[in-house]
Structure 1
Amino acid sequence: MSESAAPPTERLPLWRAAWVIARRDFAAILLSRAFFFFLLGPLFPIIVGGLAGGIGSQVRETAPPPVLAVAMTASDTERIEAARDSLEGSAGLSLPELAPVEEGSSSPEEVLKGTERNYGAVLSGSLAEPRLTGSSGQLERWRGDIALLLSEAVRSEATVFPAIEESAVAAATSDLNRSRLITAQASQVLLFLLSMLLAGMVLSNLVEEKANKIIEILAASIPMDAVFLGKLFAMLAVSLVGITVWGGVAGIFLLLGGDALPAFPAPVIGWTGFIALGILYFAMNYLLLGSIFLAIGSLATTVREVQTLSMPVTMSQILIFFVASLAVTQIEGWMGIAGMIFPLSSPYVMLAYAAQEGALWPHVLALAWQALFVYLFIKIGASLFRKRVMKSGSQPRGAGRRWRFPGMGRKAERV
């Protein structure tokens, strides 16, 4: 009795197969030593930059401010000091500190070379014919202040400034628009840096598995679309882990820095909604770039080919980022709308839109539009991989034929 044939093994559904690949890649990368050192890589510039900024700030605070040396007669010097006190007390101006110097004791050039005080410039001559001596930069900074001082000093009576009734508001519309534009541009820069830093992991992982023939084994048992989809989402999850670690370190610096660090104005939709949209747009931008890099990986066989083929994509991303940054200033114009429609620039422009506008329905449309192109890019990449690596499609004529030659006891037959 002949043995019954084994039933054919059915392939896993697309999403279940993608989950298997994603879980495998996520665990393999997250538990590797290379990923640990990858996390440490961007932290060193941040720590060094923070330390350098703190040291520079401390040096600037400890350095004495420049003072204005006044080499005039005693009466002229008294009138200039009285004018300075009047302007600072009534008008609230911040004017250079004065340091009287005996008239005629030394030339202005020699006074500036002295080490007694940190002299920035020397005011000599008289009120009728003043002369200011100093470096070109210091003269440019103090020209207006000293002209105001001299104008007040030559008056016969001190100027009486009228009392102004002040009424403060939270912020004017122009100030809010300008400040939110800063938030929009900063979010675009952060999205660009994170995407370019992390998207390359997809390409390196695919090329490594192609070299080890692992990808071909996976493709023989799992649909290629599921392999690409699983790898993309595994790398996205790994990237989010890295961003969480870096964000925690940045949060520590924010707590330690306090008021010394610049504060970005709140976007229109609030920080909670803005951060949520930022995560979604980073995910979409990462998936778009990752799917393109997977398609490139299907065309490359060596690391050198990967670098050659990925260079145009990297340079085009820089160009797209610059165009998206320009579109922020015309968010409701033709350039802004075109940036929202083009899939590779859409995450940048829509994130900037979230900082300046409060409507939510455009984000739903934009995310759906970007997800459509992620699907299309994955299909194209999987198709290229099947044709170039798995050699699927029509075989050349005569392929797969085996011949038996005469002399083996039977006629030649085609198998």
Structure 2
Amino acid sequence: MSTRRLIRQTITIARRDFIATVFTPIFLLFLFAPLIMVAFSTIGAMGAQQAADHGSERVRIVAIVPDAVAPAIVEADRRARKVFRRDEEPPELVTRTPARDVAAQARATFEAANFDATAVLYGPLDRPTILYGPRGARTADYLTVLAGGALAAERLGGTLPGITPTKIAFQRQRATQGGQNQTAFLAVFGVFFLTLFLAGQVVGTMAEERSNKVIEVLAAAVPLEAVFLGKLLGMFGVAVLFIGFWGTVLGQVTSLLPPALGGVVGELSPAIGLPMFVVLFVSYFTMAYLLLGSVFLTIGAQASTMREIQMLSLPITIVQVGMFTLTLSGLSDPQGWLARVARIFPLSSPFAMAGLAAADDTLWPHLLALAWQALWVAIFVTLGARLFRRGVLQSGSTRPFWRRKRG
């Protein structure tokens, strides 16, 4: 009966915190924060792209070759450009007839008023001289390729023979090893990013109620363990609402992706299978949120002002980045000791196991890991409630434990 009562009290606290957080104007700002960030990033990127495009319109590569050779090098350029994406194409090719002093002509080309030369080729095709500017090393290599193509066509007595290939799209039945490694990284990064963005809000949930004495009323009515777990679950409900909203939006946007991008996404197939991977990813995000949230809630419960909470934000972020770094270090060697430490240590275990789900198809380690992580959630919640009871409520002090003087 006491267990049922504890569960009912925990759900009551969770519902109270969930409603108090969601039904506020600030939550709308929080919900649309990614859209605001994406909008500002897009505006900045568009401005930078326009500036770059405006500059790239004037950039040229120049070949100073005799009139008889110019058609061959132009044809070599036309063939070579087919392998480049539109945004990766070399600058437009310009041909010039050699003057008496071709070396001086090449140097003067960099001072042309109607375009900006990034690389200039002159001399015989088998031993060309190529001048290039600060950002023209790759275009100089490209001019070398053009010279080789033009020389081959010249010695064949015309143009190079045309090729008509038969291209057949092929789709693999299973993901490549590289695709699994990329999926593992994205899984780790996804859990890290979501917890970094969402779990940090748990820190300040106790400060306001400590300042207006509401926490004392709650502590008198229900066990502190129920208060801590209820607040943790309430904020987790807010996180689920946030993810559900943006997951739906991104799901609709993803369905509009072109087939080429869909094929790239298909290469990111996890080893354990997509349906099970989704279940495990959600489970590990839940555990990561509850683990980190319980630690943050315990630390934040010792702070009584917003200034102290702000001071705690930096160490909390360092802890999260440290867990992320530890997990990434283990991804390079899944059987190494560093990877094993990341899977066993409670705060990094959800990140490491999410990466393991993408790279390994064994299921039983995940069942063991989820039980292990749930145990530590219970330990952290219990420890946090006891520290709060003994360190704050018993003494009646509003100062955190690290600032109190021993009697």
Q: Provide the TM-score with structure 1 as the length reference.
A: 0.78
Q: 1:255 to 1:52 in 2, by over 3 A?
A: farther
The CA deviation at 1:146 is 2.9
1:364 partnered with 2:367: yes
Gaps of 5+ in 1: 1-9, 393-415
Change (3 A) 1:166 1:321: same
1:400 counterpart residue number: none
Please tell me the root mean square deviation across aligned C-alpha atoms, in Å.
Answer: 3.5
- CA separation of 1:166 and 1:259: change in aligned 2, threshold 3 A: closer
Give the superposition deviation at 1:81. Answer: 4.3
Q: Tell me by how many angstroms 1:201 deviates.
A: 2.1
Q: How does 1:171-250 map to 2 (within 5 A)?
A: 171=172, 176-250=176-250
Displacement of 1:21 in angstroms is 0.9
Q: Secondary structure at the match of 1:389?
A: helix
Counterpart Cα distance in 2 of 1:167 and 1:312 = 54
What does 1:212-361 correspond to in 2, within 5 Å? 212-255=212-255, 258=258, 263-264=264-265, 265-309=268-312, 311-361=314-364
Q: Is the 2:277–2:358 Cα contact (8 Å) retained in structure 1?
A: yes
**Aligned twin of 2:98:** 103
Within the candidate set 146, 149, 157, 2:146 is matched to 149
Q: Report the CA distance between 1:324 and its aligned residue.
A: 0.7
Find the aligned partners of 2:58 and 2:335 in 1 and give their Cα distance: 46
Q: In the alignment, which residue of structure 2 is the partner of 1:130?
A: 128
Task: Quote the offset at 1:226 in angstroms.
Answer: 0.9
State the SS of the aligned residue for 2:206. Answer: helix
Shift in CA distance, 251/221, structure 1 to aligned 2, threshold 3 Å: same
> Could you tell me which residue of structure 1 aligns to residue 27 of structure 2?
35
In the alignment, the residues of structure 2 paired with residue 82 and residue 348 of structure 1 have an alpha-carbon distance, to the nearest angstrom, of: 53
Distance 1:165 1:220, change over 3 A: same
The corresponding residue for 2:9 is 17
SS of the counterpart of 1:314? helix
Call closer, same or farther: CA 1:382–1:363 in 2, change over 3 Å: same
In structure 1, C-alpha distance between the alignment counterparts of 2:168 and 2:34, rounded to whole Å:
46
Compared with structure 1, are the counterparts of its residues 180 and 315 closer, same or farther at alpha carbon in structure 2 (3 Å cutoff)? same
Instruction: Check 1:53–1:120 CA distance in 2 against 1; reply closer, same or farther (3 A cut).
Output: same
CA distance in 1, matches of 2:319, 2:182: 24
Query: How far apart, in 1, do the equivalents of 2:45 and 2:254 lie?
Result: 13
Structure 1 distance, partners of 2:15, 2:73, is 77
Q: Is the contact made by 1:188 and 1:352 (CA closer than 8 Å) also made in structure 2? A: yes
SS, match of residue 137 in structure 1: coil
C-alpha separation in 2, matches of 1:152 and 1:299: 73
Q: Which amino acid aligns with 1:141?
A: R
Superposed displacement of residue 309, structure 1: 4.5
Deviations 1:178-225 (A, max 9, x none): 222222222322222221222222221111111111111111111111
The AA in structure 2 aligned to 1:109 is: R
How far apart are the structure 2 equivalents of 1:65 and 1:116? 8
Residue 121 of structure 1: SS of its match in structure 2?
strand
The letter for the 2-side match of 1:345 is: S
C-alpha contact (below 8 Å) 1:112/1:134 kept by paired residues: no
- Which structure 2 residue ranges, 5 or more long, are not aligned? 396-407
Matched, 1:45 2:43: no
Deviation at 1:38, TM superposition (A): 1.7
Rounded Cα–Cα distance in structure 2 between residues aligned with 1:225 and 1:12 = 14
Q: Measure, in 2, the Cα distance between the counterparts of 1:149 and 1:107.
A: 20
For 2:146, give the aligned amino acid: L
Shift of the 294–136 alpha-carbon distance from structure 1 to 2, 3 Å rule, reads closer
Alpha-carbon shift at residue 237 of structure 1 (Å): 0.5
Q: State how 1:53-132 maps to structure 2 within 5 Å.
A: 53=45, 64=57, 66-81=59-74, 88=80, 98-104=93-99, 107-114=105-112, 116=114, 119-127=117-125, 129-132=127-130
Query: How does the TM-score come out when normalised to structure 2?
Result: 0.80
Distance 1:79 1:12 in 2: 85
Q: Deviations over 1:74-107 (max 9, x none)?
A: 234345446557x659xx7669654321221882
1: CA distance, partners of 2:348 / 2:203: 21
